[in-house]
Structure 1
Amino acid sequence: MLATNSNTAPVALMRDVVHTVKLGTTSLTILNGISLEIVRGSWVALTGPSGSGKSTLLGILAGLDTPSKGHVRLNDVDITTMGEPQLARLRNQTIGVVFQSFNLIPTMTAQENVEAPLFVHRNRGDISQRAKAMLELVGLGDRRDHRPAQLSGGQQQRVAIARALVTTPQLLIADEPTGNLDSTTSQQILELFADLRRQLNITIVMVTHDPDVAARADRQLYLVDGQIRHDSTRV
């Protein structure tokens, strides 16, 4: 299945992607012929049952894993042939990642956690000011000196979002970003995603099991057994 939009350049493109893993003497196919175009500035939700390949697809899209077959292009650059040093630079410059478990460094303050990606970014600029501005953008300007243990789950996720966006990526990848949050905080985080998307014109690709979360996206892709079985776009 392939969706295209000739009026808007895609930020990401997958062609005939297959991914298999070895289990002893046998092979298990996780993704089975995925072709997909993601329009710049869109919000895409990946849904489907556990084991359908959602997180694997996300990892390949982020350059964290390599497909067994097929090609992945980000900004019209084929990343499937890149070595790890090239991929690391591309991830730092082009992609922001938000995890369900926040993945903040517990000994660092919110400010220091957000600053961390900038130390390897090619356009470092004023690291302190950029991190401060991003924390203010996510509503945590007054929590810059707090460590993760001093923050609520929702505040920790806001720090994680600020860290993902501080390098001004074009693509934000989120793996169950509301999975560890209560319903009220989840809605606040989703509103934040929507606001940041409008302000920064970023593209969001999000894995979720929650139909209410998926409903916030422009487009929902439903995966079963490593294939896209349904592709719907909200009008």
Structure 2
Amino acid sequence: MDTISYQREESMNSKTMIEVSDLQRSLPMGERELAVLRGLSFSVATGEWVALTGPSGSGKSTLLGLLAGIDRPTNGVVKVDGVEISALPESRLAQFRNEKIGIIFQSFHLIQSMTALENVAAPLYIGPQRRKAHDLAGRMLAQVGLGGRMDHLPGQLSGGEQQRVAIARALVGGPGVLLADEPTGNLDSATSKQVLTLIREMRAIYN
């Protein structure tokens, strides 16, 4: 199977934020199992920018799912901010993910019946900042250039604007880790550059 490669922009911070040891993930294929990831080990420091590269089917999205705690490894250990998320019970894992991990999806994953403001505020509704959810969401939308579009539904926004909402939602809780799964895959070239520039700007602000 083709392997995943890593391109790094290192951080001045030496604290380890992500630590992966002998990570393996296999998926059932009829009576057999397909080894998607085999023995991956690496670490990522706080503030470091790491791009995963590899052909389709090499396991990039599978790896991101494991780092986000959306999926469980077949074997191996995933630690985020010193916590072994691969061993957490589901209830604790959901809370940890909501507090520590921001995720940007290729297809935005916005709730169509909720405004941009409500979509960004949603992760805060179940946490200690729920009373300030709309205020914090409004500030974050302003930071990504959508201060005047807060009351718009996703269907009233362009693809680039929807991805900006998704970025704001991923960052509003102040996560230690931001994971992006092909965040520009559904965007044209010019909008893709704008979104990547925005992510870099947000990284500089919240590093």
Question: Is TM-score (shorter-chain normalized) higher than 0.5?
Answer: yes
The structural deviation recorded for 1:6 is 11
Match of 2:52 in 1: 46
Counterpart AA for 1:44: V
Kindly indicate whether residue 42 of structure 2 is the aligned counterpart of residue 36 of structure 1: yes
Q: Secondary structure at the match of 1:162?
A: helix
Stretches of structure 2 lacking an aligned partner (at least 5 in a row): none
Counterparts of 1:170 and 1:5, CA distance in 2: 14
TM-score by length of 2: 0.93
Aligned length: 201
Counterpart AA for 1:32: R
Counterpart AA for 2:74: S
Counterparts of 2:205 and 2:12, CA distance in 1: 24
Q: Which has the higher contact order (CA 8 A, sep 6+)?
A: 1
Identity %: 51
Match for residue 136 of structure 1 among 142, 153, 161: 142
Counterparts of 2:12 and 2:172, CA distance in 1: 30
1:121–1:167 contact (8 Å) kept in structure 2: no
Counterpart AA for 2:115: T
Counterparts of 1:128 and 1:65, CA distance in 2: 30
Give runs of ≥4 in structure 1 deviating > 6 Å: 3-7
Counterparts of 1:75 and 1:128, CA distance in 2: 27
Q: Mean Cα displacement is larger for which, 141-150 or 5-14?
A: 5-14
Match for residue 91 of structure 1 among 93, 97, 107: 97
Counterparts of 2:200 and 2:183, CA distance in 1: 13
Match for residue 27 of structure 1 among 22, 26, 33: 33
RMSD, aligned CA = 2.0
Match of 2:191 in 1: 185
Kindly indicate whether residue 159 of structure 2 is the aligned counterpart of residue 153 of structure 1: yes
Match of 2:169 in 1: 163
Q: Secondary structure at the match of 1:142?
A: coil
Match of 1:79 in 2: 85
Counterparts of 1:197 and 1:58, CA distance in 2: 18
Stretches of structure 1 lacking an aligned partner (at least 5 in a row): 202-235
Match of 1:233 in 2: none
Counterparts of 1:123 and 1:75, CA distance in 2: 21
1:71–1:80 contact (8 Å) kept in structure 2: yes
Q: Secondary structure at the match of 1:122?
A: coil
Q: Secondary structure at the match of 2:165?
A: helix
1:97–1:174 contact (8 Å) kept in structure 2: yes
Q: 1:169 to 1:6 in 2, by over 3 A?
A: closer
Q: Secondary structure at the match of 2:78?
A: strand
Counterparts of 2:13 and 2:104, CA distance in 1: 29
Counterparts of 1:177 and 1:7, CA distance in 2: 25
2:110–2:154 contact (8 Å) kept in structure 1: yes
2:117–2:150 contact (8 Å) kept in structure 1: yes
2:11–2:46 contact (8 Å) kept in structure 1: no
Q: Secondary structure at the match of 1:120?
A: coil
